[in-house]
Structure 1
Amino acid sequence: METNKVTGNDSKQYIVVTLGNEQFGINIQYVDNIVRMQRITRVPKAQPYFKGVINIRGEIIPVMSLRLKFGLEPDEITNATRILIIKLEPQSAIGIIIDEVKEVVTIDDENVDKIASSANDEKASYLAGVGKHGDGLISLLNLSSVIIERETDVK
């Protein structure tokens, strides 16, 4: 059924998470930890999608809601809700609230379609591409554009 072609194609591992009924893939190399939902201390005058901060082993980590950032309905906290601790750089961690962690998948680069994004489509800028896995499609997040705050788009 599957053939292993040795053509120098790279593959990456993604943690598949859900937000509502959509599946998103997060490159596993940036995931530092996955923790259960816990009390989040609010921070005044933060963006609406920043829920506050949590303390993980003495490290204060800001937490954001991907649902609110993406313009979806507010988070519904369940037993499956998790906070993914993301580290794009060694010294900077951020937590993102997701509905559920589904699985870890490996997707070959050849099975990833890039998104043709128009300059005014903010949601498309959050995606690195769409990965084909089995019968389904997984939206692969571009974590740096999701996490980094843009005051204005400078191109």
Structure 2
Amino acid sequence: MTTCLKRYQLKPSQIGLELIESVLLDEPAGDMGPRLQALRDHGFAIAIDDFGTGYSSLGYLKRLPVDKIKLDRAFIKELPHDQADASIVKAVLAMAEGMGLGVIAEGVETKEQGKFWRIRVYVRTRFLLCQTATRCGIGKAFAA
């Protein structure tokens, strides 16, 4: 990674590393923790991708040095109409806020979904709603 940073004249703070949730569950936290901490110490941000879709273990959120969780689009696509998804999202937001973690919502594509997130996310300054809107698919929702 150091070679790539030098070659492209990048700083670690310009790079976010995403780990799929299942990778974290396959690796013992004792093995993964020090490696992730070394990356964070160099300035990389660490995010857990597809949060909530695998065999989730909330214990690794406590043990591993992560900065953000990316809530899988499976919980977003039926918002705000699906009460179960809305409840899950609210619970994840509350948990993340309590742990000082950022949350990225994947798959926000409609005005209604955008409104749901604006109400819940923008009042909490620690959360971010897909800073790269086009990558996360929310460009369509807010362009209209």
TM-score by length of 1: 0.21
More strand by share: 1
